[in-house]
Amino acid sequence: MRPVFSLLTIFLGAALLPQVLSQHRVEFKNGDRLSGRMESIQGSETVFWIHPDAVDPIELLPSYLGRIVLQEGAATPLTPEMTQLHLSNGDQLFGELIEVNGQECVLKTPYAGTLKIPRNTLAGFAPMISSGLIFQGPTSLEGWTQGRVNLNPVGQIEAGEWTYKDQAFYATKSASIARDLQLPDVASLSFDLAWRGYFTVAIALYTDSLHPVALLNKEAEPDFGAFYSLQLNTFSANLLPVKKNEPIRYLGQVPLQGMTQKKSAHFEIRLNKAKKIIALFLDGVMVKQWSDPEGFSGKGTAVRFVHQGQGSVRLSNIRVSQWDGLYEEAKPTPATLKQDLARLRNGDKVHGLFQQLQDGKLTFSIPERQFEFPMERLKELVLAPKEAPPLASSTHVRAHLFQGGRLTIQIEQWNRDGVLAISPIFGKAKFRPDAFSLIEFEPAQTRNALQ
Amino acid sequence: MNGKIFFLPIIIWALASLAPIASGATNEVIRLFDGSILSGSALDLDPTRGITWSSPAARKPILFRQTNIASILFPKSISAADQEKDSVSTFQFTNGDKVNGGLHSIEQGKIIIDSEFGGKIEAPQEQLQGIFFSRGQRLLYEGPTSLEGWKTGDQMRAWEYKDGAFVSNGADILGRDFNLQGSCSVEFEMIWNGPFAFSVTLYAQELDRFDYSSSSYVIYIGSASIAAQRIQAGVGTMMLGRAAPSGLANKNRAKFEIRCNKSEGTITVLMDGKFVEKWADPQGFVGKGKGILFFSQVDGVAMRLQNIRVMEWDPRFEPDNSALENKEDVLMLANKDKVRGKLLGVENGKAAIEVKGNRLNVPLDRIVQMSLAKPKATTNDSDPWLVQGTFIGGEALSFKLTDWTGEKIEGVSPNFGPLQMERSKIKQLFFNLHRPQPAEAGMEMQELDFE
């Protein structure tokens, strides 16, 4: 169970020390807050907090704490060699999956060395290569271009900017933010949107301009290549191919049911240049597939999000990935599975008993024979539930990784040299402190992820 | 302080009948300029090091350096004694000090006040800006200190009480029965973080909903304008008028005062102490209810309501804040006449004023308000211990804080000299007066309760 903590990891940790010293924030259960820096944690008893206006380090009692936001850390880039691991208690980890045998799975991570995880706590995994992940964020405003929105020629709508905080963009006034996300020809763009009041957000797809284009006055705008404007609001979605010197076309509007009763939703846009298809999914359900009868209009590879001034919105969990062009069925939840399920990249599915992952090959037992296939062919493995996961206690915290994964751990010691913690699943491990973005104290009793 | 003669060597600002807050109370809140806020209690003050703060969330007391303390809040409710102060005048000074009491005399460059906190006190006449002879005034409410006594709507995002303020993250109603009988004024400070629509219903009967079946007056405050509407049972609604106060559209906080003069059937609105508009109901006053309803009407905007004060007053003594901006001294009389000139002094119950070379003696009981031509003073004093204390009843006092031990606070006022007060009398202490107060916690967009 002991992780291997390599010299390289220690070196990387030391090199990243200045980032560890960056601004943090502790939020208390009663709504109080303190800026500063988390210096260390001693067991479940004391969090040592440095505040520039406090003469001495402040010794905080964890039972009063809601969460600690570690705003700047070192997000280790996800690589195609990595796999996203799902554990039975809902934890998610990233790393290079070396092997899975009858007793354990071995995950080599950039943040905690090599972890050995009991096989019976594994809920599934998905190789990053099959996700074709190109971008995941945001992690800061860096790399993004803010543009000035001029929606109204008389300037009655006040323009603003997107702000970044805690891995999300926020806009309360009309604002534009764009980035060349290198949208591939067959792509998936997904994001979470939360809103207050009514909202209207326009998303420019395959644009070559990082600055917003006023559609009503587009001929007067600086030259831009054709793009698609997907306009989302509280009631409907609309898709418009936009080309300079050509009339705007409307490819069709679709109502978005139930949005007025919600305050957030997960959107996914599937794009296929060759097939001239743009499909919109709302909370996992396809609501509309548009086909452009005049050929595909997008000339660039950038994406622009424009909040048009109404309501307040939060944009988070933006992911761009390759899409295999297939529409999958609804994802099965582990609890509904009686057998393990492997979903392959070509759309095939294998039901049976997952045996092992060895030397890059997965072995499945299916009736009367064994089936073996290489990891590269796997899109996702979902394991049928084996046993209830261990529950978290009040001394556990939920530590979120910058990559988006999360861990339920009991912290023994946290300082600049490392985080010594015990997972109820894989035991003691030492983590890089800059791998974490957020610590939640007393997370609700961890639900069985298999349910 | 040079050359001043004091009636008391130390002015003791305390009422023996009021029990002080027990030591170790934890409902006080310290706010720092970096936005940090921490509940607890001030233990003591070290002029060279800072303020020692006890927080239940910290294992040991915290010594905060004085240089970045913005304020300390002491939430407290008004007492019966506060409500009985129905015949006091308010003395306003150029540095923002406001003292309640009775006018003894103005002579030889000194004003002598029969104060509520220290008997006869004196200050240089040159520092006096105005006197409001608020006869018949009765304080009905000052707060908030909790949601107790208030009604909210049944929306999911109801108003919440936090750190001396009501905070709303969505559309909702907040109402209270103040047992309004006569003319009233309601003052409140409002802070917002986006385009908003807010209304105040005066003399409302229903306190948890917007009601058109009972007679009342509604003041609508929007991002750029203010309007008044009469609601009359069985008749309908009628707009009394609209105004666009200069600068409202560019603000995110303002102090409003709405005065309802029942005998004249008028509603006067002031913003940040300046007259906005006065509307008259041609049908005379129709309000029937006894309560006030605040209504934040827009989702997606965070609003904060604080420093709410509701008073009843004799409509013959309606103050005129615009008179404070005059270039000459003005005596406002009960019959609405104004006498402009140079105030020579006040003694034996008469004010002597020179008008175009002639001396007039005006009995004090005919004067409603006395405004002296003085510019408002601003402080460049960067001494962090120069503080401003605010008190129940709207009093405010700037002084150099010299000692704070247990329940006793001592300081030196530039107007009144050495003074001593009980902690239990103070509502809020502002530090570092040369710096603008930090943004209110909870007003950043990111703090809206996104899920």
Residue A65 reports pLDDT greater than 70 = yes
The mean pLDDT of B275-288, rounded to a whole number, is: 91
Q: What's the confidence (pLDDT) of residue B85? A: 58
Residue A330 reports pLDDT greater than 90 = no
d(CA A36, CA B37): 12
Q: What's the confidence (pLDDT) of residue B320? A: 67
Residue B23 reports pLDDT greater than 50 = no
Q: Where are the alpha helices (DSSP H) in A107-253?
A: 128-131
Long-range contacts of B276-280 (CB under 8 A, 24+ apart): B276/B226, B276/B243, B276/B245, B277/B226, B277/B228, B277/B241, B277/B243, B279/B228, B279/B240, B279/B241, B280/B240
The mean pLDDT of B200-226, rounded to a whole number, is: 90
Give the residue from A29, A41, A58 with the most B CB atoms within 10 Å of its CB, the best one to mutate.
A58
Mean pLDDT (chain B, rounded): 82
Identity of the residue in B39, B62, B170 whose CB atom sits nearest the CB atom of A196: B170
Nearest residue of B to residue A35 by CA position? B36
Cβ pair A55:B50 closer than 8 A: yes
The mean pLDDT of A271-293, rounded to a whole number, is: 92
Mean pLDDT (chain A, rounded): 84
Q: What's the confidence (pLDDT) of residue B324? A: 56
| Residue B6: its H or E element | none
The alpha carbon of B404 is separated from its chain's Cα centroid by a whole number of angstroms, namely: 25
B323 pLDDT band (50/70/90 cuts)?
A: low
Residue A286 reports pLDDT greater than 60 = yes
**Higher-scoring residue by pLDDT: B376, A445:** B376
Nearest residue of A to residue B193 by CA position? A172
Residue B56 reports pLDDT greater than 60 = yes
Residues 6+ positions from B316 with CB-CB distance below 8 Å: B135, B136, B334, B368
Evaluate whether B190 touches B198 at the Cβ level (below 8 Å). Answer: yes
Cβ pair A54:B39 closer than 8 A: no
CA distance A311 to chain B (A): 5
Q: What's the confidence (pLDDT) of residue A395? A: 83
d(CA B73, CA B163): 8
d(CA A401, CA A429): 15
Q: Judging by DSSP bridges, how do beta strands B274-280 and B266-271 pair with one another?
A: antiparallel
Residue A104 reports pLDDT greater than 90 = yes
d(CA A47, CA A219): 58
Q: What's the confidence (pLDDT) of residue A130? A: 66
The mean pLDDT of A201-221, rounded to a whole number, is: 89
Q: What's the confidence (pLDDT) of residue B7? A: 36
Residue in this structure with the two tokens 């354990």, named with its chain if needed: A104
Q: What's the confidence (pLDDT) of residue B377? A: 65
Stated pTM of the model: 0.76
Q: For residue B343, which amino acid is it?
A: L
Cβ pair A36:B36 closer than 8 A: yes
Q: What's the confidence (pLDDT) of residue B381? A: 75
Q: What's the confidence (pLDDT) of residue A9? A: 31
The mean pLDDT of A173-194, rounded to a whole number, is: 92
| ipTM exceeding 0.95, yes/no | no
Residue B3 reports pLDDT greater than 50 = no
The mean pLDDT of B238-257, rounded to a whole number, is: 88
Nearest residue of A to residue B70 by CA position? A53
Q: What's the confidence (pLDDT) of residue A71? A: 64
- Which stretches of chain B sit within 8 Å of chain A by CB? 29, 32, 34-39, 49-50, 56-60, 62-65, 67-69, 162-163, 169-170, 193-194, 298-301, 441-442, 445-446, 448, 450-451
**Higher-scoring residue by pLDDT: B326, B330:** B330
Nearest residue of A to residue B300 by CA position? A196
In 3-state terms, what secondary structure has residue B248? Answer: helix
% of chain A exceeding 70 in pLDDT? 87
The mean pLDDT of A59-70, rounded to a whole number, is: 92
Cβ pair B59:A264 closer than 8 A: no
% of chain B exceeding 70 in pLDDT? 82
Q: DSSP readout, A87-114?
A: ETTS-EEEEEEEEE-SSEEEEEETTTEE
Cβ pair B36:A51 closer than 8 A: yes
Cβ pair B298:A264 closer than 8 A: no
Q: What's the confidence (pLDDT) of residue B378? A: 63
B135 pLDDT band (50/70/90 cuts)?
A: low
Residue A449 reports pLDDT greater than 50 = no
Residue B116 reports pLDDT greater than 90 = no
Give the residue from B55, B156, B445, B447 with the most A CB atoms within 10 Å of its CB, the best one to mutate.
B445
Evaluate whether A119 touches A102 at the Cβ level (below 8 Å). Answer: yes
Task: Provide the token pair at A200.
Answer: 């209207």
Where is average pLDDT lowest: A137-151, A236-250, B27-41, B233-247? A137-151
Cβ pair B446:A170 closer than 8 A: yes
Residue B376 reports pLDDT greater than 70 = no
Cβ pair A32:B38 closer than 8 A: yes
Q: What's the confidence (pLDDT) of residue B322? A: 60
Nearest residue of A to residue B58 by CA position? A60
In 3-state terms, what secondary structure has residue A277? Answer: strand
Nearest Cα residue to B121 out of B388, B404, B363, B421: B421
**Higher-scoring residue by pLDDT: B276, B349:** B276
Q: What's the confidence (pLDDT) of residue A4? A: 34
What residues of chain B lie within 8 A of the CB of A36, using their CB? 36
What residues of chain B lie within 8 A of the CB of A197, using their CB? 298-301
Nearest Cα residue to A176 out of A149, A153, A150: A149
Where is average pLDDT lowest: A31-45, A122-136, A165-179? A122-136
Q: What's the confidence (pLDDT) of residue B12? A: 53
The alpha carbon of A307 is separated from its chain's Cα centroid by a whole number of angstroms, namely: 21
Q: What's the confidence (pLDDT) of residue B5? A: 33
Q: What's the confidence (pLDDT) of residue A13? A: 32
Cβ pair A64:B56 closer than 8 A: yes
The alpha carbon of A206 is separated from its chain's Cα centroid by a whole number of angstroms, namely: 21
Cβ pair B65:A55 closer than 8 A: yes
Q: What's the confidence (pLDDT) of residue A297? A: 87
Identity of the residue in A28, A35, A198 whose CB atom sits nearest the CB atom of B57: A28
Where is average pLDDT lowest: A5-14, A88-97, B62-71, B344-353? A5-14
The mean pLDDT of B158-181, rounded to a whole number, is: 86
B4 pLDDT band (50/70/90 cuts)?
A: very low
Rg of chain B, C-alpha, whole Å: 22
Q: What is the pLDDT of residues A332-389, one digit of tens each?
A: 666 677 889 998 888 888 899 999 999 999 999 988 888 899 998 998 899 988 777 7
Q: What's the confidence (pLDDT) of residue B21? A: 32
What residues of chain B lie within 8 A of the CB of A35, using their CB? 32, 34-36
CA distance B33 to chain A (A): 10
Evaluate whether B331 touches B342 at the Cβ level (below 8 Å). Answer: no
Give the residue from A312, A317, A441, A442 with the most B CB atoms within 10 Å of its CB, the best one to mutate.
A312
Q: What's the confidence (pLDDT) of residue B80? A: 59
% of chain A exceeding 90 in pLDDT? 49
Residue A260 reports pLDDT greater than 60 = yes
Nearest Cα residue to B95 out of B336, B359, B436, B416: B416
Cβ pair B162:A31 closer than 8 A: yes
Q: What's the confidence (pLDDT) of residue B30? A: 94
φ and ψ at residue A118, rounded to 5 degrees: -55, 135
Residues B329-364 as b or e (16 or more Cβ within 10 Å = b): bbbbeeeeeebbbebbbbbeebbbbeeeeeeeebeb
Residue A11 reports pLDDT greater than 70 = no
